[in-house]
Amino acid sequence: MANVKLSIIYYSSTGTNYQMALWAKEKAEQSGAEVRLRKAKELAPEFAIEQNPAWKKHYDETQHVEEASSDDILWADALLFSAPSRFGTMPSQLKQFLDIQGGLWANGKTVNKVVSAMTSAQNPHGGQEATLLSLYTSMMHWGTIIVTPGYTDPVLFGAGGNPYGTSVTVDQNGNMQEDVEDAVKHQVARVLEVASKTLES
Protein backbone atom coordinates (compact mmCIF):
# COMPACT_ATOMS: atom_id res chain seq x y z
CA MET A 1 0.00 0.00 0.00
CA ALA A 2 3.05 2.24 -0.19
CA ASN A 3 1.76 3.77 -3.42
CA VAL A 4 -1.51 5.07 -1.92
CA LYS A 5 -1.67 8.79 -1.21
CA LEU A 6 -4.21 9.62 1.50
CA SER A 7 -5.46 13.08 2.47
CA ILE A 8 -7.10 13.18 5.90
CA ILE A 9 -9.22 16.31 6.05
CA TYR A 10 -10.95 17.11 9.32
CA TYR A 11 -12.78 19.79 11.20
CA SER A 12 -12.72 19.80 14.99
CA SER A 13 -13.83 22.46 17.43
CA THR A 14 -12.75 20.85 20.71
CA GLY A 15 -10.46 18.04 19.59
CA THR A 16 -12.48 14.84 19.15
CA ASN A 17 -12.25 14.64 15.37
CA TYR A 18 -8.65 15.83 15.48
CA GLN A 19 -7.82 12.83 17.66
CA MET A 20 -9.66 10.51 15.29
CA ALA A 21 -7.70 12.01 12.40
CA LEU A 22 -4.43 11.42 14.27
CA TRP A 23 -5.31 7.75 14.81
CA ALA A 24 -6.10 7.49 11.11
CA LYS A 25 -2.79 9.09 10.17
CA GLU A 26 -0.89 6.73 12.45
CA LYS A 27 -2.49 3.65 10.90
CA ALA A 28 -2.06 4.89 7.33
CA GLU A 29 1.62 5.65 7.82
CA GLN A 30 2.19 2.28 9.48
CA SER A 31 0.62 0.71 6.39
CA GLY A 32 3.06 2.50 4.11
CA ALA A 33 0.75 5.15 2.67
CA GLU A 34 1.78 8.73 2.02
CA VAL A 35 -0.37 10.92 4.26
CA ARG A 36 -1.40 14.54 4.46
CA LEU A 37 -3.27 15.69 7.58
CA ARG A 38 -5.20 18.89 6.94
CA LYS A 39 -7.87 20.89 8.76
CA ALA A 40 -10.82 22.74 7.30
CA LYS A 41 -10.50 26.48 7.78
CA GLU A 42 -12.20 27.83 10.91
CA LEU A 43 -15.09 30.11 9.95
CA ALA A 44 -16.59 30.83 13.37
CA PRO A 45 -16.15 34.38 14.68
CA GLU A 46 -13.54 34.88 17.36
CA PHE A 47 -16.10 35.80 20.03
CA ALA A 48 -17.81 32.43 19.61
CA ILE A 49 -14.55 30.53 19.98
CA GLU A 50 -13.49 32.51 23.03
CA GLN A 51 -16.78 31.82 24.83
CA ASN A 52 -15.95 28.11 24.90
CA PRO A 53 -12.66 27.41 26.75
CA ALA A 54 -12.27 23.94 25.21
CA TRP A 55 -12.80 25.32 21.70
CA LYS A 56 -10.34 28.15 22.30
CA LYS A 57 -7.75 25.75 23.74
CA HIS A 58 -7.98 23.38 20.80
CA TYR A 59 -7.97 26.24 18.29
CA ASP A 60 -4.74 27.60 19.79
CA GLU A 61 -3.08 24.18 20.08
CA THR A 62 -3.64 23.24 16.43
CA GLN A 63 -2.33 26.36 14.74
CA HIS A 64 0.51 24.24 13.38
CA VAL A 65 -1.84 22.06 11.31
CA GLU A 66 -2.03 23.15 7.68
CA GLU A 67 -5.40 24.19 6.28
CA ALA A 68 -6.87 22.00 3.56
CA SER A 69 -6.61 23.17 -0.04
CA SER A 70 -7.70 21.95 -3.46
CA ASP A 71 -4.21 20.57 -3.96
CA ASP A 72 -4.81 18.09 -1.16
CA ILE A 73 -7.67 16.62 -3.17
CA LEU A 74 -5.77 16.63 -6.46
CA TRP A 75 -2.76 14.95 -4.85
CA ALA A 76 -4.68 12.18 -3.12
CA ASP A 77 -5.81 8.78 -4.31
CA ALA A 78 -8.05 8.55 -1.24
CA LEU A 79 -9.77 11.04 1.05
CA LEU A 80 -10.81 10.50 4.66
CA PHE A 81 -13.00 13.17 6.23
CA SER A 82 -13.72 13.57 9.93
CA ALA A 83 -16.07 16.18 11.39
CA PRO A 84 -18.69 16.51 14.13
CA SER A 85 -22.41 16.56 13.57
CA ARG A 86 -24.12 19.94 13.41
CA PHE A 87 -27.90 19.47 13.58
CA GLY A 88 -27.59 16.23 11.62
CA THR A 89 -25.30 17.51 8.87
CA MET A 90 -21.62 18.29 8.46
CA PRO A 91 -20.38 21.57 9.98
CA SER A 92 -20.24 24.68 7.82
CA GLN A 93 -16.45 24.72 7.96
CA LEU A 94 -16.20 21.41 6.10
CA LYS A 95 -19.18 22.15 3.89
CA GLN A 96 -17.59 25.34 2.61
CA PHE A 97 -14.38 23.51 1.85
CA LEU A 98 -16.34 21.05 -0.27
CA ASP A 99 -18.46 23.77 -1.85
CA ILE A 100 -15.46 25.68 -3.20
CA GLN A 101 -14.13 22.65 -5.09
CA GLY A 102 -16.44 23.27 -8.05
CA GLY A 103 -13.49 23.79 -10.36
CA LEU A 104 -12.06 20.37 -9.56
CA TRP A 105 -15.45 18.72 -9.90
CA ALA A 106 -16.23 20.43 -13.22
CA ASN A 107 -12.95 19.17 -14.67
CA GLY A 108 -13.41 15.60 -13.46
CA LYS A 109 -10.61 15.79 -10.93
CA THR A 110 -12.67 14.19 -8.15
CA VAL A 111 -13.80 11.15 -10.15
CA ASN A 112 -12.81 7.75 -8.73
CA LYS A 113 -11.16 9.13 -5.61
CA VAL A 114 -11.77 6.66 -2.77
CA VAL A 115 -13.65 8.39 0.05
CA SER A 116 -14.70 7.56 3.60
CA ALA A 117 -15.78 9.61 6.62
CA MET A 118 -16.01 9.67 10.42
CA THR A 119 -17.97 11.80 12.86
CA SER A 120 -19.03 12.53 16.45
CA ALA A 121 -22.01 13.86 18.38
CA GLN A 122 -23.08 14.39 21.99
CA ASN A 123 -25.42 11.39 22.00
CA PRO A 124 -25.81 8.19 19.95
CA HIS A 125 -28.85 9.53 18.11
CA GLY A 126 -27.56 13.07 17.73
CA GLY A 127 -27.18 12.93 13.97
CA GLN A 128 -24.12 10.73 13.57
CA GLU A 129 -25.44 8.63 10.68
CA ALA A 130 -27.20 11.58 9.04
CA THR A 131 -23.99 13.60 9.12
CA LEU A 132 -22.05 10.90 7.29
CA LEU A 133 -24.83 10.49 4.75
CA SER A 134 -24.89 14.25 4.12
CA LEU A 135 -21.20 14.14 3.29
CA TYR A 136 -21.57 11.05 1.12
CA THR A 137 -24.31 12.80 -0.87
CA SER A 138 -21.75 15.39 -1.94
CA MET A 139 -19.29 12.61 -2.73
CA MET A 140 -21.81 10.95 -5.05
CA HIS A 141 -21.93 14.19 -7.03
CA TRP A 142 -18.13 14.14 -7.14
CA GLY A 143 -18.13 10.67 -8.71
CA THR A 144 -16.05 9.17 -5.92
CA ILE A 145 -15.86 5.57 -4.74
CA ILE A 146 -17.42 5.59 -1.26
CA VAL A 147 -15.91 3.02 1.10
CA THR A 148 -17.63 2.41 4.42
CA PRO A 149 -16.61 0.03 7.20
CA GLY A 150 -19.93 -1.82 7.01
CA TYR A 151 -19.76 -4.76 9.41
CA THR A 152 -16.45 -6.09 8.16
CA ASP A 153 -14.81 -6.58 11.56
CA PRO A 154 -16.10 -7.32 15.11
CA VAL A 155 -14.23 -4.26 16.41
CA LEU A 156 -16.97 -2.09 14.92
CA PHE A 157 -19.61 -3.35 17.36
CA GLY A 158 -17.61 -2.22 20.37
CA ALA A 159 -17.35 1.19 18.76
CA GLY A 160 -21.12 1.59 18.39
CA GLY A 161 -21.69 -0.43 15.23
CA ASN A 162 -22.11 2.41 12.74
CA PRO A 163 -21.76 0.86 9.24
CA TYR A 164 -21.49 4.27 7.53
CA GLY A 165 -18.27 5.28 9.25
CA THR A 166 -16.70 5.39 12.68
CA SER A 167 -18.67 7.63 15.02
CA VAL A 168 -18.26 8.41 18.67
CA THR A 169 -20.42 9.88 21.42
CA VAL A 170 -18.83 12.70 23.40
CA ASP A 171 -20.01 13.81 26.84
CA GLN A 172 -20.33 17.40 28.10
CA ASN A 173 -16.71 17.32 29.25
CA GLY A 174 -15.38 16.27 25.85
CA ASN A 175 -14.73 12.64 26.78
CA MET A 176 -15.32 9.93 24.19
CA GLN A 177 -17.88 7.42 25.46
CA GLU A 178 -16.87 4.56 23.16
CA ASP A 179 -13.43 3.15 22.43
CA VAL A 180 -13.17 3.86 18.70
CA GLU A 181 -9.43 3.87 18.06
CA ASP A 182 -9.38 0.36 16.59
CA ALA A 183 -12.51 1.07 14.54
CA VAL A 184 -10.83 4.16 13.05
CA LYS A 185 -7.77 2.12 12.16
CA HIS A 186 -9.87 -0.65 10.61
CA GLN A 187 -11.72 1.93 8.51
CA VAL A 188 -8.41 3.34 7.30
CA ALA A 189 -7.22 -0.15 6.38
CA ARG A 190 -10.38 -0.62 4.30
CA VAL A 191 -9.84 2.68 2.51
CA LEU A 192 -6.22 1.86 1.71
CA GLU A 193 -7.11 -1.64 0.52
CA VAL A 194 -9.73 -0.38 -1.92
CA ALA A 195 -7.58 2.53 -3.06
CA SER A 196 -4.70 0.16 -3.70
CA LYS A 197 -6.95 -2.04 -5.85
CA THR A 198 -8.14 0.91 -7.90
CA LEU A 199 -4.54 1.91 -8.58
CA GLU A 200 -3.73 -1.60 -9.73
CA SER A 201 -6.64 -1.78 -12.17
For residue 18, what is the DSSP state?
Answer: H
End-to-end, the C-alpha distance of the chain in Å comes to 14
What would you measure as the largest C-alpha separation in the chain, in angstroms?
Answer: 51
Q: Domain 5-200, what fold?
A: Rossmann fold (3.40.50)
pLDDT tens digit sequence for 23-78: 999 999 999 999 999 999 999 999 999 999 999 999 999 999 999 999 999 999 99
pLDDT tens digit sequence for 14-31: 999 999 999 999 999 999
pLDDT tens digit sequence for 97-111: 999 999 999 999 999
Q: What ranges do the domains of the chain cover?
A: 5-200
Instruction: Find the helix or strand (DSSP H, E) in which 8 lies.
Output: strand 5-10
| Single pTM value for the model | 0.96
